[in-house]
Structure 1
Amino acid sequence: MRKLILIAGTVLIAVASTAVIATAKGGPRGGVERLFEMLDTDGDGSITKAEAEGAAAARFATADSNGDGLLSADEMAAAQDKTRAERIAKRIERHDTNGDGQLSLEEMQAGHGDRQGRLFERLDADGDGVITQAEAEQARGMRHGKRNKTENN
């Protein structure tokens, strides 16, 4: 029993930490505002350790669909699928300009501005309208904090 409590506590802390870190970094959940909405249960503008642990326990309990105090792979996948479905529904709601409950290519592109165009320009280092494999590899290296040797010379 003690081992079960230890495992459950570890999972709770991991779930809470992951949610807090992803949210604080502006991850898929929507930034600092969403973090406080989720965790500041007394609305005082601060998050206590007890509030963070409580949120983790609530998420665990929601995912534990059979109530046995353990999360199976199926329960974890179902919880992830539910979260993903909620994010998708919010995305559709945000970008569905004609209100039909679906996104057209135009609605999706409008929701991102000219993100694809800016990405293409950034990858097309020499501005010739074509992305070569070398340019793609150079961009990949830059993304990982590496610099191409030719840039250092």
Structure 2
Amino acid sequence: MRNRTLVLGVTALAVAITGMAAPSFAARDKMTPEQRAERMIKRLDTNSDNKVSLDEFQARMTTNFKTFDTNGDGQISADEMKAKREAFREARKAWQDAKSKDGKERDAALAHLKEARPAMVPGMRPKTFKRVDTDGNGSLSAAEVASASEKMFKRRDKNGDGVIDAADFSKKV
């Protein structure tokens, strides 16, 4: 009887410990809002002051705009936007297929995925594309993207201090 109680106790303890550990393992795969904010700030902060100014944000949007404007006409058409998204989908599928393959093929697929990954620009989704296309001509100009990105910046600058920093991502703002 005593052995049975001991086995049941150890089993219950093992189940309890496993139950407590599982959420911590699952949490590793998901980034917290603070971690996403830190990553975004690090990526956009060109002068290393741990803040993103509107100028830094606009400079990134200008660079990103050029990656979508594949024909170089100063406009991003809906077709150019769609082609960029489709190229990324195909690269992501190739990466998923190559994950189980040898190093060189897997590395090549990952490099292609990184290259095909679309940069952030206002209007990437069809519904937002129409909203950003303020003149209704079916394409986005650099001015339309700049205007939409300024609005995006102001939404992210929760405390209105003119920069995006860690304070804009805290719950107290």
TM superposition score category, shorter chain reference: 0.3 to 0.5
The TM-score with structure 1 as length reference comes to 0.36
The TM-score with structure 2 as length reference comes to 0.32
Higher normalized strand content (fraction of residues):
2
Higher relative contact order (CA 8 A, sep 6+): 2
